[in-house]
Structure 1
């Protein structure tokens, strides 16, 4: 009987969020087992808040100390979703009979157990993590559960967080996050502000815009705030929270989340919130690959024209189409 499983996913915030479906499969199929994760420091608080995780080990960079922690936990199985030679060197010391890695890169030949984790054309990238877990469950005689309609039910706290963001009356809170984590392009503050102003002018919904930010993004958010305030648009600067977990929980207050940064967009997807995402124009179809976990009709996605010279130029996005789609969504679902 498997009592303890280690899942390794030690990369960016968005990548960890898109691993929640895989963790959900594990925990649902094996409710009595301890599902444990190895994550990057930036993700620790969010991993600890994840309802499918029982224990978190953080990547401190001290491989010897991390290996000792792995050994002490006495895992029955290890699933390496983020495969690196460094990871192999840490886990090969473990007295664990089943270690599963994806079939890519040359390190696959170092593992006894491997599985295809290449999601098909037209599938989102989060399917890769699920494919590994599904292989693991099948190999061990577990049924593969049906994934839920929503991965994080924080509805009991929605009113509290709406109050935090100064919600009043029949207002709909439209969150907007400037900047980018690097996987996608970045709208200029002028384009972002103009988009929000036009949406507010054209929709029949009573909107209040909430500008979220972290670190250097505060300057961008302030620039957008000033432009909206000059046009008498209702807008607030989000008061920073003490941890990523609190921020992630607080997004339950949103009625829509608009961003070019995939991390916050993916967190919004956990709550099944309507997302408006801006992605670089690449032939690898980032709109599909990096799609959020929200239901299909709640995902609005846009890119500039595909190409080396145009793909990263977010000013080339058809903002008239964005405005039309967003206003139609708001008026259909909230007016």
Structure 2
């Protein structure tokens, strides 16, 4: 058993959904090391969400993202200034590994993969390419290895939600949102995110429109909120044009990720492909319906959301068709299943 670390760095500096799926790992570290100062190394575009996470004491922005020697040295300087005892790279890349090594952080842990592993003095073989468990579980496994190295702390999986806001705040926001958009206060709010952010295959806009119509037929007291992030305005308005006669509102998020997350917290259901907003909804423990390919690196298991098991549904192309053929998903059948699961008792 080694001395308990006082200052821990946890690194997840890639895409939004990847960072959100690291939140259980941060929760696990916080529970095991309650007195440690936990810092997250993230890119600028997930900084705001990281700062809203109760398990994180400090956020360090990875501003030196090219592989030049000068940028590696600048990152090394930033790391040395924080005097970390331990660093856990949930996502390992060479320049970060080199900076950690140059910063002489005593305990450096990462997946045993790629050439970057040479910079770490502790490694865990995970074989993530096999996609045998959820991404968030791979992240937690790394933190569990750190916990067992330093002692015998609790390594059980934390329970959702992993993001939350005060209940009164969300109740007031929902009332304001409904009043602002002339939505009946008792309507079921189904948030639908048709954008993909370029990160995953998704349903077509026509499929989403068919899905919405099938839901509306079964649950008339529903109102769809079509969400759009930066650069997705054209997509969301194209979908809105397909929803003739179906009550809907376009919500374009322009005030940052935390404000966007607050709005997702008012949803009765969130529907999307495998993308960052889906994972924010899951972290809030909002019920979700997600559409995935069957490609091994992009399955419903690998990119499972963080919400409770009874609050998530996933649909993929059936056997016998191309694994990435999202057009083969029966959205009418999906509508029946989600209505029975979440709305019809």
TM-score (norm 1): 0.91
1:212 aligns with 2:223: no
Q: Does the C-alpha gap of structure 1 residues 40 and 318 become closer, same or farther in structure 2, counting only changes over 3 Å?
A: same
1:7 and 2:17 equivalent? no
Whether the 8 Å CA contact 1:260–1:278 is kept in 2: the answer is yes
Q: Which runs of 4+ in 1 moved over 4 A?
A: 118-122
Any conservation in 2 of the 1:165–1:210 contact (CA below 8 Å)? no
Partner of 1:99: 108
User: Matches of 2:148 and 2:315 in 1, distance apart?
Assistant: 37
Q: CA deviation at 1:113?
A: 1.4
Separation of aligned partners in 1, 2:23 and 2:145: 17
Query: Which of 152, 162, 165 is equivalent to 1:151?
Result: 162
Unaligned residue ranges in structure 2 (runs of 5+)? 65-70
Counterpart among 81, 87, 92 of residue 83 in structure 1: 92
Q: Which residue of 1 aligns with 2:280?
A: 267
Q: Look up the SS of the partner of 1:150 in the other structure.
A: coil
Match in the other structure for 1:198: 214
Deviations 1:124-181 (A, max 9, x none): 1211111110010111014125412422232342213313432533211100001213
Q: How far apart in 1 are the matches of 2:205 and 2:14?
A: 28
Give the gaps of 5 or more residues in structure 1.
none
Residue 16 (structure 1) shift: 0.4
Match of 1:168 among 174, 184, 195: 184
Deviation, structure 1 residue 284:
4.9
Q: Tell me if the contact between 1:262 and 1:290 (Cα under 8 Å) persists in the aligned partners.
A: no
Question: TM (normalized to structure 2)?
Answer: 0.89
2:22 matched residue in structure 1: 19
CA–CA separation in structure 2 for the residues paired with 1:112 and 1:63? 19
What is the DSSP-based 3-state SS (H/G/I as helix, E as strand, rest coil) of the residue aligned with 1:212? strand
Cα pair 1:4 1:35 within 8 Å, conserved: yes
Shift, 1:306, TM fit = 5.5
Mark the CA change 1:22 to 1:108 in structure 2 (over 3 Å): closer, same or farther: same
Preserved contact between residue 179 and residue 220 of structure 1 (Cα < 8 Å): yes
Pairs aligned (count): 329
Contact 2:109 2:123 in 1 (8 A): yes
Structure 1 residue 113 corresponds to structure 2 residue 122: yes
**Structure-to-structure mapping, 1:131-146, within 5 angstroms:** 131-146=141-156
Quote the Cα distance in structure 2 between the aligned partners of 1:110 and 1:283.
Answer: 29
Q: Deviations over 1:184-210 (max 9, x none)?
A: 21222222112101111112x611111
Conservation of the 8 A alpha-carbon contact between 2:131 and 2:296: no
3-state SS of the aligned residue for 1:315?
Answer: helix
Match of 1:322 among 322, 330, 334: 334
**Alpha-carbon displacement from aligned partner over 1:274-295 (angstroms, at most 9, x marks no partner):** 1111112324560111110111
Alignment of 1:300 onto 2:313: yes
Aligned to 2:295: 282
| More deviation, 17-26/138-147 | 138-147
Say whether residues 1:124 and 2:134 are aligned partners: yes
**Worse overlay, 71-80 or 219-228:** 219-228
Q: Deviations over 1:211-260 (max 9, x none)?
A: 101133211211222222x21x2211114231112112221101100011
Q: Note the 1:226-241 alignment, pairs <5 A.
A: 226-228=241-243, 230-231=244-245, 233-241=246-254
Secondary structure class of the residue paired with 1:332:
coil
